[in-house]
């Protein structure tokens, strides 16, 4: 029985060695998978960290660009503004014209009066808003306002409304 026992022992030893090898192989595979998973997690963390770093760098770059634009705008706003004589005269004329326009009498057209707006050529109707200029010509307010935006003169007689002030 010694031969059978030794053959059985040898077989058992081989089976045991094979089982140990399989177990070592499985543990090695599990270890390799765990190492791979850890490596992927590290790579993902690095990728997320790189993405966050890139996002922060982009945000900083945008903030720097915004700061530069604001600084340039501030620099421009602090420069002395040079106004030419013609620009100053144009501003003064416009201001004077606005002042005159605010003082022009606007009335409602009476029922019994007759007349015609020289700009639109319509007869005045009772209740129409009419503006009378200092030269005594009258126009619908809605017709005269756009005219005065372009010219400071009476549409009928070309009287310069600004000529009465400071001899302009």
Q: What is the DSSP string of 54-79?
A: HHHHHHHHHHHHHHHHHHHHHHHHHS
Residue 147: Cβ-neighbour burial (10 angstroms; 0-12, 13-18, 19+): middle
Q: For residue 44, what pLDDT band results from cuts at 50, 70 and 90?
A: confident
Q: How confident is the model at residue 156 (pLDDT cuts 50, 70, 90)?
A: very high
Average pLDDT, the chain: 84
State how far the Cα of 137 lies from the Cα of 145, in Å rounded to an integer. 14
Instruction: Look at residue 111 in the predicted model and tell me its pLDDT.
Output: 79
Look up residue 60 and give its two tokens.
């900083």
Residues of the chain with pLDDT > 70, as a percent, come to 92
d(CA 97, CA 164): 11
92-135 pLDDT, tens digit per residue, is: 888 888 888 888 889 998 877 788 999 999 999 989 999 999 89
What is the C-alpha separation between 74 and 67, in angstroms, rounded?
10
Residue 168's pLDDT band, with cuts at 50, 70 and 90, is very low
């Amino acid at each position: 029985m010694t031969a059978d026992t030794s053959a059985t022992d040898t077989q058992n030893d081989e089976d045991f060695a094979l089982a140990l090898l399989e177990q070592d192989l499985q543990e090695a595979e599990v270890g390799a998978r765990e190492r791979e998973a850890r490596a992927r997690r590290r790579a993902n963390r690095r990728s997320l960290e790189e993405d966050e770093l890139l996002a922060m760098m982009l945000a900083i770059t945008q903030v720097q660009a915004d700061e530069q634009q604001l600084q340039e705008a501030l620099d421009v706003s602090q420069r002395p503004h040079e106004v030419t004589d013609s620009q100053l005269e144009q501003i003064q004329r416009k201001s004077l014209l606005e002042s005159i326009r605010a003082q022009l009498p606007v009335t409602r057209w009476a029922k019994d009066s007759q007349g015609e707006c020289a700009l639109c050529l319509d007869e005045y109707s009772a209740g129409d808003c009419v503006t009378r200029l200092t030269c005594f010509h009258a126009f619908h307010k809605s017709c005269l306002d756009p005219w005065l935006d372009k010219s400071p003169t009476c549409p009928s007689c070309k009287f310069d409304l600004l000529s009465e002030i400071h001899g302009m």
